[in-house]
Amino acid sequence: MADIEVPVFIVGGSLVGLSAALLLGHHGIGSLVVEHHRGTAIHPRAAQTSQRTMEICRQVGLEQIVRQKSEEQFVQDGGVLAVETLVGGPIAHYIADLNEGVRDVSPTVRVFLSQDALEPQLRKRAEELGAELRFATEMVSFEQDAHGVTAVIRDRDSGKTQTVRAQYMVAADGAHSRVRERLRIRMKGHGTFSKSITIYFRAHLAPLIEGHKWAVVYVLNRQLSGFFRFEKPFEKAFLGVFTVGNPENPVMDVSTGLTDQRSLELVRMAIGTDRLPITIENIMHWEASADMAEQLHDGRVFLAGDAAHTMPPNGGFGGNVGVQDAHNLAWKLALVLQGRAGPGLLSTYEPERRPPGAFTVEQAYSRYVLRTAPHLSRDGLQPVAPDLNIEMGYIYHSDAIVSEDPNDSRVHENPRESKGRPGTRAPHVWLQRHGEQISTLDLFGRNFTLLAGPEGDAWTEAAYDASRRVGIDLDVHKIGENGLTDPSGGFPAAYGITATGTVLVRPDGFVAWRANTANGALPERITRVLATVLCRLG
């Protein structure tokens, strides 16, 4: 018998492992997380947090604290631009205002909040929801069989080892995932293209930055290619350096043999003056790569986050995609563990998460090449798609979706165009509940949700019956009932249905199925749909 028994064992307690624990907790599933480090992130690393990640934070009660921490740390709505040197000023603008033109699609906004500030919030909430987190603990080995996974973990301080038995394991152990290696899952893509560094430094930057809405500033000159990220009150920042030397023919290994003196020179070259006193605080070494794991799922083990895909930081996508992996997986694990869905539901993780993962890797790579690496070939480079499509417009095709067009294999689109089509994120529409403004998104998150138009009574009645037959909790809402109103009258059109139609939304906020009108509004129809998307048929 194992020392510890737990439904889900998570390897890695950084951004994605903590998110997985939190989201499993949200669905009432216990987990054990082991993390090699002694605590949450000490380096800022990821900061750009997409609207989709913020919607997930909103679902688990973290949106307000994340926004508050972001306001303390960063200029809101900051831009992304390029300079030759900071002193020289902008030579290109990629994004003038982080939230320009995207506020209508979501009840929340994009923010910057660095990983060292976000992770403690994820940790706190995960623990509140029942996850057990063990820091300074590593997973040493694991085996899986038909019923579960047995792993050996070791406390790094005492050296004591224990065995863990779990029904499922999530590998959130980062780009160099030992779990992935052990499963012999290969990475495929562009490989590693630079040994990069991040230099954390202090300097009185306010005179150069204050008054500008600059969050991420790319630097491209004859000496280096990289990017700055600035925090309020502009007394400290980091400079990420991808390559040094002439960008047309650069040195790709910035990391080997790097001294503090050289780091100081690099910061000075990027700022463009020798006169500013600068203190180097810390240096982080990392590899820029763009690869996708050939498999995301092996038996009872699932890869998530950087273990599943690596990408350069250009675009600020890596951490966000990892959070979406965890979000996709958590409710599926919960329903299968609770015996409410067939195990086939877990097999939908791969077909749902691989295409958006691979697409995002290519999009980050395209941004890397176009913004910072003129020496790399542009042949075959995927054209840059709008950030919004990448963050919110990814589309799922799997057995957990009742597709309306089996020939549709699109991976992304503008989320404004999805209009509630099955496989896409359920659109945001402002509604009112007992006079209080809420988003349609606030109705989703824990269970499957059936949301009917103002004349969709036939569907809501059928839904109550179907949920009893299938034995799952189904949240049922109708516009105009129980204090729920649609002041703009925009709900049916936003979801591509008529007033008598309905939509079935999964716990991750993706549309599973919809009916345009009241035709066929019988319990049998919804029972069949639920059994299909829960993979209980066959």
Ligand X SMILES: Cc1cc2nc3c(=O)[nH]c(=O)nc-3n(C[C@H](O)[C@H](O)[C@H](O)COP(=O)(O)OP(=O)(O)OC[C@H]3O[C@@H](n4cnc5c(N)ncnc54)[C@H](O)[C@@H]3O)c2cc1C
Give catalytic residues, as residue numbers: 218
Residues 198-227 vs ligand X: string with x where CB under 6 A?
x-----------------------------
Sign of the dihedral defined by the CA atoms of residues 474, 478, 484, 485, in that order? positive
Specify the amino acid at residue 149.
Answer: V
Q: In terms of CB distance, is 21 or 450 closer to ligand X?
A: 21
Binding ligand X by CB under 6 A: which of 73, 108, 225, 320? 320
Q: How far is the CB of 322 from ligand X (least distance, A)?
A: 4
Q: How far is the CB of 119 from ligand X (least distance, A)?
A: 9
* Cα–Cα distance, 211 to 287 (Å, whole number): 33
Q: How far is the CB of 376 from ligand X (least distance, A)?
A: 19
Q: In terms of CB distance, is 225 or 320 closer to ligand X?
A: 320
Q: In terms of CB distance, is 45 or 297 closer to ligand X?
A: 45
Residues 6 or more apart whose CB falls under 8 angstroms from that of 82 comprise 90, 91, 92, 93, 94, 217, 218, 219, 220, 371
Of residues 396-455, those binding ligand X (CB under 6 A): none
Q: In terms of CB distance, is 174 or 250 closer to ligand X?
A: 174
* Cα–Cα distance, 322 to 315 (Å, whole number): 14
Q: In terms of CB distance, is 39 or 523 closer to ligand X?
A: 39
Q: With contact defined as beta carbons under 8 Å apart, do 74 and 232 qualify?
A: yes
Residue 286 in the binding site for ligand X (CB under 6 A): yes
Residue 319 in the binding site for ligand X (CB under 6 A): yes
Residue 197 in the binding site for ligand X (CB under 6 A): no
Residue 462 in the binding site for ligand X (CB under 6 A): no
Residues 236-255 vs ligand X: string with x where CB under 6 A?
----x---------------
Residue 78 in the binding site for ligand X (CB under 6 A): no
| Binding piece for ligand X, criterion CB under 6 A, among 66-74, 184-192, 318-326, 530-538 | 318-326
Q: In terms of CB distance, is 237 or 452 closer to ligand X?
A: 237
Q: With contact defined as beta carbons under 8 Å apart, do 289 and 191 qualify?
A: yes
Residue 14 in the binding site for ligand X (CB under 6 A): yes
187 alpha-carbon distance from chain centroid:
20
Residue 15 in the binding site for ligand X (CB under 6 A): yes
Query: Checking DSSP bridges between strand 448-452 and strand 436-439, what pairing results, if any?
Result: unpaired
Binding ligand X by CB under 6 A: which of 6, 8, 10, 11? 11
Q: In terms of CB distance, is 192 or 460 closer to ligand X?
A: 192
Q: With contact defined as beta carbons under 8 Å apart, do 224 and 266 qualify?
A: yes
Q: With contact defined as beta carbons under 8 Å apart, do 311 and 294 qualify?
A: no
Q: How far is the CB of 423 from ligand X (least distance, A)?
A: 23
| Binding piece for ligand X, criterion CB under 6 A, among 6-14, 373-381, 383-391, 492-500 | 6-14
Q: How far is the CB of 48 from ligand X (least distance, A)?
A: 3
* Total number of residues that touch ligand X (CB under 6 A): 34
Greatest alpha-carbon pair distance for the chain in Å reads: 76
| Binding piece for ligand X, criterion CB under 6 A, among 13-21, 122-130, 254-262, 358-366 | 13-21
* Cα–Cα distance, 275 to 39 (Å, whole number): 37
Q: In terms of CB distance, is 16 or 429 closer to ligand X?
A: 16
Binding ligand X by CB under 6 A: which of 226, 318, 357, 445? 318
Bridge partners, residue 284, by sequence: 198
Residues 111-140 vs ligand X: string with x where CB under 6 A?
----x----------------------xx-
Q: How far is the CB of 18 from ligand X (least distance, A)?
A: 8
Q: Is 28 helix (H, G, I), strand (E, B) or coil?
A: coil
Residues 25-64 vs ligand X: string with x where CB under 6 A?
---------xxxx-------xxxx----------------
Specify the amino acid at residue 62.
Answer: L
Q: In terms of CB distance, is 166 or 450 closer to ligand X?
A: 166
Q: How far is the CB of 198 from ligand X (least distance, A)?
A: 5
Sign of the dihedral defined by the CA atoms of residues 178, 136, 257, 116, in that order? positive
Residue 66 in the binding site for ligand X (CB under 6 A): no
Q: In terms of CB distance, is 37 or 213 closer to ligand X?
A: 37
* Cα–Cα distance, 44 to 125 (Å, whole number): 20
**Nearest C-alpha neighbor of 422 from the set 390, 442, 453, 398:** 398
Residue 313 in the binding site for ligand X (CB under 6 A): yes
Q: With contact defined as beta carbons under 8 Å apart, do 441 and 503 qualify?
A: no
Q: How far is the CB of 157 from ligand X (least distance, A)?
A: 14
Specify the amino acid at residue 482.
Answer: N
- Strand 430-433: give its sheet, edge to edge: 436-439, 430-433, 484-485
**Nearest C-alpha neighbor of 513 from the set 534, 493, 488, 538:** 534
Residues 6 or more apart whose CB falls under 8 angstroms from that of 113 comprise 47, 49, 66, 69, 70, 73, 74
Residue 173 in the binding site for ligand X (CB under 6 A): yes
**Interior angle at CA 469, CA 467 and CA 471, nearest 5:** 65
Residue nearest to ligand X (CB): 305
Residue 79 in the binding site for ligand X (CB under 6 A): no
**Nearest C-alpha neighbor of 267 from the set 257, 256, 279, 249:** 279
* Cα–Cα distance, 68 to 111 (Å, whole number): 10
Residues 6 or more apart whose CB falls under 8 angstroms from that of 134 comprise 13, 32, 33, 34, 35, 153, 155
Residues of this chain that bind ligand X (CB under 6 A): 11-12, 14-17, 34-37, 45-48, 115, 138-139, 172-175, 178, 198, 240, 286, 305-306, 313, 316-320, 322
